[in-house]
């Protein structure tokens, strides 16, 4: 699940936001090019960072699994299956 995803980036950014209480307007992990961050994914990084702090990578995997399962359930529900 984590091999080709940005989960590590989201977790570290979320931890940084939670520890500094500041939203990064520039990427703190891209060096030397610092791109601007105006993305919703940074906000979700807070959730990933908090979940990682509570239960580690297995808790993040559980969160992602629940998100996928909830999305599939919602898709079936909305399509009358």
Q: 54-79: per-residue pLDDT in tens? A: 999 999 999 999 999 999 999 999 99
Q: How far is the CA of 51 from the CAs of 25, 35, 36, 67, in angstroms?
A: 22, 26, 25, 13
Q: Is the pTM of this model over 0.75?
A: no
pLDDT tens for 25-35 read: 666 666 555 55
Q: Which residue has the tokens 């060096």?
A: 31
- Delimit the domains of the chain by residue range: 7-78
């Amino acid at each position: 699940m984590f091999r080709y995803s940005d989960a590590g980036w989201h977790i570290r950014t979320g931890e940084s936001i939670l520890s500094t209480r500041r939203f990064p307007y520039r990427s703190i992990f891209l060096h030397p090019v610092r791109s601007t961050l105006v993305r919703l994914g940074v906000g979700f990084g807070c959730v990933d960072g908090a979940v990682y702090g509570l239960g580690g990578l297995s808790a993040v995997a559980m969160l992602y699994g629940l998100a996928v399962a909830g999305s599939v359930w919602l898709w079936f529900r909305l399509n009358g299956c």
